[in-house]
């Protein structure tokens, strides 16, 4: 493998790992709990920012970039702090929007939160260094390991894979536990879940904050690798790509979400990178977004449950035999949209 | 200074009211939160721009933009939203569909017109002093257009058969249909109406701002949503009130503090409403649609 390819493939693999983690986090919120979190990307950005600041070292006045706080923590700590930051920010946003709002109304509020966050961060240079963001973030352990440039990249691929496995184990613990069942109950019929004594808002909040922590961790892993952070990279459209990934891969299915991360942000968007650039600058990017939107619509129309659909969980009890046939569609409960 | 800010706020509020009323009326009748609304506004502004570049008077451009918004909204509903609803798409799915539509529309606009900023064709005109507030002639015309459009909407909803049918459909579509209201046509009518307001608001917005690009409408959607939510989503008079409050508040903020934070005012209002009274000031429609409880 030539050097350039080695560089490229290691980069793509790290991005894949980050996207897979993000899709698991989003899938926990969207697929399992039914929260349409259109501000997912800002929790990722918050985690990334925290991790960056905690690796950059103390903020020297008169330095070329301004940031809040600043410390020089050893490797795993910035990533963990990133997760905490994502979780805290989620808790704040969740406290505002997760009360009894209708699901689409909630989604609209989250979208507005995402748009405003971008507006605030880019318009005020004093707070987060404005649109320039942060750069020259030192890469973790690079001083200790003494690897070649390419060697370090492959080391980081391994590191990402390990963090991915930890996140997977964690998400899997939730989704296959009684907690996961409660979350699905909240998603399918929140009033029914409440009637059975489940704390609906609390369960939504749990899932939302855990998703936020995962978002923060994934952002931190990304920023430590590319060693730069700018608000322009965390726009609401990026959340939409993750949604597209989860929808294409399979909602409420962790393997599906991972497959979606491979198919949409990586395969679909990377493949177009190899097409020749055409037209004025920005044209091919715009068409890429159009393609992502169309892909989502096509899947929602033809395969709304994705490539790997959610496993049907049926409890075989003799008395339930009849009820089972009546439950062909798992989502019969919630009111459908609009007026027919 | 203060009066100047108030005057500016009134202009902003007039444009915002046009947009917010269109957004909220359409939600009230069809029960879909159409997040592609802002991008339809931008598209209408581009159509108006193109038509006046082709030699039409800019005020005719506004008519063309409004008509485009109306027709486009009806088509969007007929060929994208309604098919999904017929398939039994949940509210959940519909919001993703509308965001996908917004993304596609916005990026199509970018692909066609490029990322550059365009300047509107209407010049500001002479300045006029009204009660100590300074307006340009164009701004006064915009306020007049908004006032006439909203008064016409009021008349339509209140005094015509179509308006009655719309209100019936908004409050209970099943019952309305059983009583012989052709809900399908009423829904088309409501998309046409909200699209008209959307198109007018889009052209008015870029006229007021002076320059625009492919993101102008989607950025403006934040205060529009805030105005609609503040007034009680689905309630046209609430949306007008919300637009007035947010228009004035953001103009005052821009005058006395940092103009970069104008949209943050709208956001602050939105958060406050969601925390204190999520169903908005006029809560009837919002409560009945179980938007917030």
**pLDDT score for A91:** 94
- Extract the residue ranges of chain B whose pLDDT is less than 50: none
Residue A330 banded pLDDT, cuts 50, 70, 90:
very low
Top-ranked range on mean pLDDT: pick from A164-173, A270-279, A314-323: A164-173
Contacts of residues A112-116 at CB distance under 8 Å and 24 or more positions apart, as own/partner, are: A112/B222, A112/B225, A112/B226, A112/B267, A112/B270, A113/A39, A113/A42, A113/B267, A114/A38, A114/A39, A114/A41, A114/A42, A114/A235, A114/A236, A114/A239, A115/A236, A115/B219, A115/B222, A116/B222, A116/B263, A116/B264, A116/B267
**pLDDT score for A327:** 46
- Provide, as residue numbers in chain B, all residues whose Cβ is less than 8 Å from the Cβ of A300: 84, 89, 93, 96-97, 100
Total count of domains within chain A = 1
**pLDDT score for B267:** 83
Contact flag B173-A119 (C-beta cutoff 8 Å): no
| Rg, chain A, Cα only | 21
CA distance A309 to A299: 12
| Domain span at A37 | 7-234
- Provide, as residue numbers in chain B, all residues whose Cβ is less than 8 Å from the Cβ of A289: 103-104, 106-107
Distances (CA, A) of B274 to A56, A90, A104: 37, 16, 14
The verdict on A235 touching B (C-beta cutoff 8 Å) is no
The verdict on B35 touching A (C-beta cutoff 8 Å) is yes
Contact flag B103-A287 (C-beta cutoff 8 Å): no
pLDDT at A242 over 90: yes
pLDDT at A189 over 90: no
The verdict on A282 touching B (C-beta cutoff 8 Å) is yes
Cβ neighbours around B234 below 10 Å, total: 29
- Site from B82, B88, B90, B217 to mutate, A interface, most A CB atoms within 10 angstroms: B90
Residue A52 banded pLDDT, cuts 50, 70, 90:
confident
**pLDDT score for A5:** 85
pLDDT at A19 over 90: yes
- Provide, as residue numbers in chain B, all residues whose Cβ is less than 8 Å from the Cβ of A331: 90
Mean pLDDT of chain A, nearest integer: 83
pLDDT digits (tens, 9 = 90+) for A252-263: 889 999 999 998
* Secondary structure E strands in chain A: 134-135, 228-229
Tell me which of A31-45, A153-167, B85-99 is least confident. Answer: B85-99
Six-digit token string for A74? 């050893």
- Site from B79, B99, B172 to mutate, A interface, most A CB atoms within 10 angstroms: B99
- Provide, as residue numbers in chain B, all residues whose Cβ is less than 8 Å from the Cβ of A280: 114
**pLDDT score for B30:** 86
Which residue has tokens 């909630």?
A: A106
- Provide, as residue numbers in chain B, all residues whose Cβ is less than 8 Å from the Cβ of A109: 270, 274
- Provide, as residue numbers in chain A, all residues whose Cβ is less than 8 Å from the Cβ of B30: 338-339
Contacts of A208 (CB under 8 A, 6+ apart): A29, A33, A35, A37, A90, A91, A93, A94, A98
Cβ neighbours around B191 below 10 Å, total: 29
Nearest to A282 among B96, B115, B261 (CB): B115
The verdict on A290 touching B (C-beta cutoff 8 Å) is yes
CA distance B162 to A143: 74
**pLDDT score for A195:** 92
Nearest to A286 among B31, B110, B290 (CB): B110
- Contact (Cβ atoms closer than 8 angstroms) between residue B21 and residue B236: yes
The verdict on A334 touching B (C-beta cutoff 8 Å) is yes
Kindly state whether residue A28 falls inside one of the protein's structural domains.
yes
**pLDDT score for B8:** 83
- Mean pLDDT within A3-14: 87
The verdict on B95 touching A (C-beta cutoff 8 Å) is yes
pLDDT at A331 over 70: no
The verdict on B156 touching A (C-beta cutoff 8 Å) is no
pLDDT at A326 over 70: no
pLDDT at A93 over 80: yes
CB contact residues (below 8 A), chain A span 35-74, against chain B: 36, 38
- Mean pLDDT within A294-312: 89
CA distance B40 to B19: 11
Six-digit token string for A39? 């501000």
Top-ranked range on mean pLDDT: pick from A135-139, A207-211, B113-117, B225-229: A207-211
pTM over 0.90, yes/no: no
Contact flag A337-B274 (C-beta cutoff 8 Å): no
The verdict on B103 touching A (C-beta cutoff 8 Å) is yes
**Percent of chain A residues past pLDDT 90, beyond the cut:** 40
Which is more confidently placed, A143 or B58?
B58
Q: What value of ipTM does the predicted structure carry?
A: 0.88
Measured CA angle at A44 (ends A42, A49), to 5 deg: 90
Kindly state whether residue A334 falls inside one of the protein's structural domains.
no
The verdict on A249 touching B (C-beta cutoff 8 Å) is no
């Amino acid at each position: 493998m030539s050097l350039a390819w080695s560089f490229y493939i290691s980069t793509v693999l790290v991005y894949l790992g980050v996207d897979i983690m993000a899709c698991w986090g989003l899938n926990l919120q969207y697929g399992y709990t039914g929260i349409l979190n259109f501000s997912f990307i800002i929790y990722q950005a918050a985690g990334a920012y925290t991790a960056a600041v905690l690796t950059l070292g103390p903020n020297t006045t008169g330095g070329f970039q301004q940031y809040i706080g600043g410390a020089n923590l050893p490797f795993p700590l910035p990533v963990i702090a990133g997760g905490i930051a994502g979780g805290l920010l989620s808790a704040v946003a969740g406290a505002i929007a997760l009360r009894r709002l209708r699901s689409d109304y909630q989604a609209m509020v989250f979208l507005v939160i995402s748009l405003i966050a971008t507006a605030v961060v880019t318009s005020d240079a004093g707070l987060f260094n404005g649109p320039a963001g942060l750069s020259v973030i030192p890469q973790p352990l690079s001083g200790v390991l003494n690897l070649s440039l390419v060697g370090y990249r492959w080391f980081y691929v391994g590191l990402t894979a390990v963090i991915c496995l930890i996140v997977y184990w964690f998400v899997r613990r939730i989704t296959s536990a009684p907690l996961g069942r409660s979350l699905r109950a909240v998603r399918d019929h929140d009033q029914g879940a409440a009637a059975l004594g489940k704390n609906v808002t609390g369960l939504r909040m749990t899932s939302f904050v855990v998703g936020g922590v995962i978002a923060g961790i994934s952002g931190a892993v990304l920023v430590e690798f590319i060693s730069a952070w700018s608000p322009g990279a965390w726009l609401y459209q990026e959340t939409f790509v993750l949604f597209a990934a989860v929808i294409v891969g399979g909602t409420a299915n962790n393997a599906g979400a991972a497959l979606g991360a491979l198919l949409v942000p990586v395969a679909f968007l990377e493949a177009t990178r190899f097409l020749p650039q055409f037209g004025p600058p920005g044209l091919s990017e715009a068409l890429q977004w159009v393609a992502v939107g169309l892909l989502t619509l096509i899947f929602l129309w033809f395969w709304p449950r994705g490539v790997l659909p959610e496993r049907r969980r049926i409890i075989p009890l003799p008395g339930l035999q009849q009820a089972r046939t009546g439950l062909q569609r798992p989502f019969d409960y919630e009111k459908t949209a609009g007026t027919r | 200074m203060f009066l100047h800010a108030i005057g500016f706020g009134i202009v902003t509020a007039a444009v915002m009211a046009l947009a917010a009323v269109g957004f909220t009326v359409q939600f009230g009748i069809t029960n879909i939160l159409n997040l592609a609304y802002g991008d339809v506004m931008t598209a209408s502004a581009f159509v108006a721009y193109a038509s006046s570049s082709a030699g039409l008077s800019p005020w005719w451009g506004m008519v063309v933009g409004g008509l485009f918004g109306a027709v486009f909204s009806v088509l969007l509903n007929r060929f994208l939203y309604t098919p999904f609803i017929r398939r039994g798409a949940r509210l959940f799915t519909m919001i993703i569909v509308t965001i996908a539509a917004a993304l596609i529309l916005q990026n199509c606009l970018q692909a066609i017109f490029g990322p550059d900023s365009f300047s509107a064709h209407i010049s500001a005109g002479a300045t006029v002093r009204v009660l100590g507030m300074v307006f340009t002639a164009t701004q006064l015309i915009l306020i007049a257009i908004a006032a006439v459009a909203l008064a016409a909407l009021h008349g339509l909803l209140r005094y015509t058969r179509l308006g009655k049918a719309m209100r019936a459909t908004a409050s209970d579509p099943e019952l309305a249909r059983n009583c012989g209201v052709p809900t399908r046509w009423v829904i088309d009518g409501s998309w046409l109406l909200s699209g008209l307001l959307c198109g007018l608001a889009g052209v008015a917005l870029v006229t007021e701002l002076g320059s625009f690009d492919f993101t102008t409408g989607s950025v403006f959607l934040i205060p529009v949503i805030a105005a609609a939510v503040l007034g009680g989503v689905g309630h046209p008079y609430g949306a007008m009130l919300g637009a007035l409050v947010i228009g004035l508040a953001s103009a005052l903020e821009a005058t006395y503090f940092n103009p970069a934070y104008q949209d943050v005012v709208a956001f602050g209002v939105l958060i406050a409403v969601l925390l204190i009274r999520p169903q908005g000031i006029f809560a009837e429609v919002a409560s009945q649609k179980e938007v917030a409880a």
